[in-house]
Amino acid sequence: MLIYFRVLKESFNFAINALRNNMLRTFLSLLGVTIGIFSIIGVLAAVDSLKQEITGSLSSLDNSTMYVMRFSFGPTEIPQWKREQFPDVTYEEYQYLKRNVSDIEAITYTLNVAPETLKYQDNSVSSVNLAPVTDEYYDIEALQIAKGRFFNEQESNSGSPVIVIGDEIANNLFGNFDPIGKQIRVYGQKLTVVGVLKKEGSGLFGDSKDTAAMLPVNLVRRVFGDNNKSVFPAIILKPEPGVDIPEFTALLGQQMRRKRGLKPDEIDNFFVNQLQGFADFIDNITGQMNIIGLIISGFSLLVGGFGIANIMFVSVKERTNLIGIQKSLGAKNRFILYQFLFEAVILAVIGGLVGLFFVWIISLIASSFTGDFEFVLSPFNMFIGTAISAVIGLVSGIVPAVSASKLDPVEAIRTGM
């Protein structure tokens, strides 16, 4: 066992000497490995960071949460011209599903509207993401209230002039004053603040509930009406825990078809989008991004592998005389083999570590410029990068190492003189 440690030590010294004595040649040889590892780990880190951010943005929602609307979250076989003819879901359909579909833990009706400006006295906040919803939206999103409360069922049904605002909006409009009970103006009406959401930080696309406000959907319905094409509604529901999801989805679709009076030969003119399906779609996209990135980065590694092989062949040629002397003194073939293999692996790992270092530096810089979006260089990715480097060194060094181990001592000494 000690002899292998000695070989490793000597090989490391040889590698360091090669770096010192042939700086330019070694730099050019390792550049391919460095760029390859940088590309691979950079892609993996970027995709992991994106996936983590998406997961964090959706963490408040259960994967079983479903969206009933005229749009589909993912690809569909229904042609676009036909999808454009689908009617929007209605408040009456929301009430019908609430009464007729069992095993629903929470269900809400929401409208997607354009951002608005909120005003309080001389202060105003523009581009506020308004969420007109019913009261059960609180349970579906698992909202956390920092001050006050969420509006109740009676206020939701009657469309009372109340509003729940995000932390950033509360700070911009009211500063250090308590916003509960204060009245802010939106849609030309005065709405009473009944709750403030807990601070959550920026989301994936720069927005979060810190810059959002929730108000009763029936209040907004009175403003826009039910046939306004500038908004589109959705029914969001969450099944009871433990429910058979395929069976529940089928029952939900059946009730929607019954409510709309669709004939058996007519297709569904609505979509039941499950959040799990959206998560699977995201996983599929990130998986494809990983594969494409790995293929592209593989070419850099291929070039790097040739570079390592080249420097090892040169190293064997330069040390032919030394190899002959070692063999004449009793060194076995495997000793010479391991010596050059270790050197190739060490050189490749050094190139890989340099690539990892650059990824780490760039991830720090990128994170500082993107606010709450954090680029993650996980220990697993670092291990993958180091392992790939070692494999590249092993594969690239095997042929030179074998050729060195098979040299005849006498011929090697004569050739090297």
pTM surpassing 0.75?
no
Same domain, 248 and 316: no
pLDDT value at 133 more than 90 = yes
CA dist 368 and 82 (Å) reads 45
pLDDT score recorded for residue 205: 45
Long-range contacts of 312-318 (CB under 8 A, 24+ apart): 312/340, 312/343, 312/344, 312/396, 312/397, 312/400, 312/401, 313/400, 313/403, 314/25, 315/14, 315/18, 315/340, 315/343, 315/400, 316/340, 316/400, 316/403, 316/404
Q: Is residue 69 part of a domain?
A: no
CA torsion sign for 243, 249, 251, 252 is positive
Range ranked top by mean pLDDT from 66-80, 106-120, 202-216, 292-306: 106-120
Q: Are residues 127 and 41 in the same domain?
A: no
Distance CA 305, CA 115 (A): 54
**364 found inside a domain:** yes
Answer with the one of 269, 293, 316 that is the final residue of a domain: 269
Are 219 and 301 members of one domain? no
- For residues 263 and 385, state if they share a domain: no
pLDDT value of residue 110: 94
Asked if residue 253 and residue 309 are part of one domain, the reply reads: no
Same domain, 313 and 257: no
Same-domain status, 183 and 241: yes
The per-residue pLDDT for 293 is 67
Residue 347: per-residue pLDDT: 77
Q: What is the mean pLDDT of the chain?
A: 79
Query: Of 215-219, 246-250, 382-386, which has the strongest mean pLDDT?
Result: 215-219
Q: Please tell me whether residues 233 and 178 are part of one structural domain.
A: yes
Q: Are residues 114 and 189 in the same domain?
A: yes
Report whether 67 contacts 345 (CB < 8 A): no
Q: Which residue has the higher pLDDT, 289 or 193?
A: 193
User: Do the domain assignments include residue 81?
Assistant: no
pLDDT at 204: 47
Nearest to 133 by CA among 111, 104, 155: 111
Report the pLDDT averaged over residues 280-300.
69
What pLDDT shows up at residue 319?
67
361 is in which domain, residue-wise? 2-57+281-416
Q: Are 144 and 150 in contact (CB under 8 A)?
A: no
pLDDT at position 96: 94
- Do 288 and 402 belong together in one domain? yes
Q: Which two tokens stand for residue 296?
A: 């592209």
- In this prediction, residue 392 carries a pLDDT of 80
User: Which is higher by pLDDT, 335 or 185?
Assistant: 185
Q: Is residue 137 part of a domain?
A: yes
Residue 155, amino acid: E
Residue 66 in domain: no
> Same domain, yes or no, for 203 and 226?
yes
Same structural domain, 134 and 37: no
Instruction: Give the total number of structural domains in the chain.
Output: 2
